[in-house]
Structure 1
Amino acid sequence: MSTASVPLPNWINYALLPLINLTLAFLVSGLVVWIIGENPWEALKLMLEGALGSGEGIGFTLFYATNFIFTGLSVAVAYHAGLFNIGSEGQAYLGGLGAALAALALDHYVPWYVTMPFAIMAAALFGAAWAFIPAWLQAKRGSHIVITTIMFNFIGAALMVYLLVNVLIVPGKMAPETRTFLEGGQLPKLDWLIAMFGGKLGPAPFNVSFLIALVMCVLVWILIWRTKLGFEMRTLGISRSAAAYAGIPYVKIVMITMLISGGLAGMMALNPVLGASARLQVEFVAGAGFVGIAVSLMGRNHPLGIVLAAILFGILYQGGAWLSFDMPNITREMIVVIQGLVILFAGALEFMCRPMIVRIYQTMTKA
């Protein structure tokens, strides 16, 4: 029997194998750091110190992780239905537009906790709307979802530039951005959460959207594994012919799945737009839509795994910035290389060690 088809316990599939792959990624990364003349152990300590060594560092780490949780969930929902949504970047752009419009309309009149649900709904609706056309093209015309969603990323970015330069810009200002939201349009920081553990958040923009992301994780788990719709999505993802035989409507499931996926990506904008900068700016997504693909794959498309993978990438982002400051030889480009190695080993080569693990497991169980 092929090792690929040998069943393994969940603790091996979802804990041991990712841990081994992650260890290999860091070993290779350490070799790269050593080749350029730096101490890998010192580099690792500096990275962890920058990401987790203070309340401010933890705040920045969780701020980045929040973006990746939303986009990781977006990719995972689509993946369970056999769809590969690479359009989270563009959907997040449009979600930012929806959230900003809600804040601009309400921040003069109501407090943040009244604005927040409207901003959430607007971000989700705008993100879902941007996923609608690719979903329809896939469901009704057979256009490949990967091609249409990635093309819509470019269209969304161009549309945002046009709106910020020509429509939403503050008169008399050069910067292509909206006005700063008043307090009624800003999500408050979670400084009290960091203070519970004896830290100080400082200037880190860690905010309420992190809690919203965790709520979305729970809702996605319920949707995928505890509802009829989730069962139909997973059935379609495993076998389209089996889904058709069972009477599961292909067009309906594709449309609903992509709308949910786009809505989750759109909600990512709550974190940088309402939580960090308190205004809509160009390129606020900053690649989080693409990182979400790696986060989803590393997290095995499960909400808990996505949270852990998102925190890992948050550590790499924040710790990498700290590391490049203290070790000038390790530039931001080097940090991208390390991130790429993590993705390579934990994503693309996730089953590289599986045959060896299967043989060891079979030997242990027979004994």
Structure 2
Amino acid sequence: MPTQVQGVIARSKDAPVELTTIVIPDPGPGEVVVDVQACGVCHTDMHYRDGGINDDFPFLLGHEAAGVVSEVGEGVTDVVVGDYVILNWRAVCGQCRACLRGRPWYCFDTHNARQKMTLLDGTELSPALGIGAFAEKTLVAQGQCTKVDPAAAPEVAGLLGCGVMAGIGAAINTGGVTRGDTVAVFGCGGVGDAAIVGSRLAGAAKIIAVDIDDRKLTTAREMGATHTVNSKETDAVEAIRALTGGFGVDVAIEAVGRPETYEQAFYARDLAGVVVLVGVPNPTMEITLPMIEVFGRGGALKSSWYGDCLPSRDFPMLIDLHTQGRIDLAAFVTERIGIGDVEAAFEKMHRGDVLRSVVMIGAPA
């Protein structure tokens, strides 16, 4: 029978979020119900609330989540009841032209649960990034569940579901950072700091963090940055060149999604260097670059989709590295909050007071 649970919704543009009762249908073919244990508060959820993604209100917010499978529908083979999983928003299809060419991280036909979760009056909810995990339970497609080692706490594991994976993957998967490279990361929020962690993991020799907030730069050093630049006080491109013998970096990662920081990243790279855009711009933003500079500098200008990750490959690997003590995913968790505290968490995020607030929902004591 359908289940009634508490969930956090955005009912209309710019309105405060609400904690209300939602209805979770029984899982259909290929669908899974997950008991959510923890879910990170991501900028993307705030963008949904503010109407910055689309206008398919009401939204069921939350997507950086970990939990336990409680029900499975017909034909589900990837997971079983009791599996501890991280949720992801790019369940690969296995049949599109990208998947068939052996590049499933570029899947052009990712999918979600077919059924809709609803309010008590039957109003259909749009789950954020196809997940909707600021709720005691959520309904997803089986491909959105990746089984991982339950030794990792849910507030830590869930963050791989979006921001942390996006940043680590932007460095390793998209940027191809490797031993001895120099790297600059523009924007030191959760994604930028994860790019720093990924660069350090890959063996970068020099990691330069760029931001306008000294608090964030301090955290970036704690995450592994070897140098910091406050671009509010110093020309970031000149500072980066000074730190790299006048050449610029091998990989420049833009984790803000703004034209001015993208331009800084473009000019801060060495010849044949790589620029990676992982920050998400809004649809109105544009940038103009001299074509002779694009040609003359060579290298590559790349966009990173979800860190170009393959959840079935990358989530278990990163959880294993965490449990081995080789990366500290817990460092991203600033505070643990209740399901009724999401709106306050958005305000803290907007002020830059937190790296990640994590909603604790059904985590074991």
Q: TM-score, normalised by structure 2?
A: 0.25
Q: Structure 1 or 2: larger helix share?
A: 1
TM-score between the two structures when normalised by the length of structure 1: 0.25
**Which has the larger strand fraction?**
2
Quick check: which has more Rg, 1 or 2?
1
Which gives a bigger RCO, structure 1 or 2 (Cα 8 Å, sep 6+)? 1
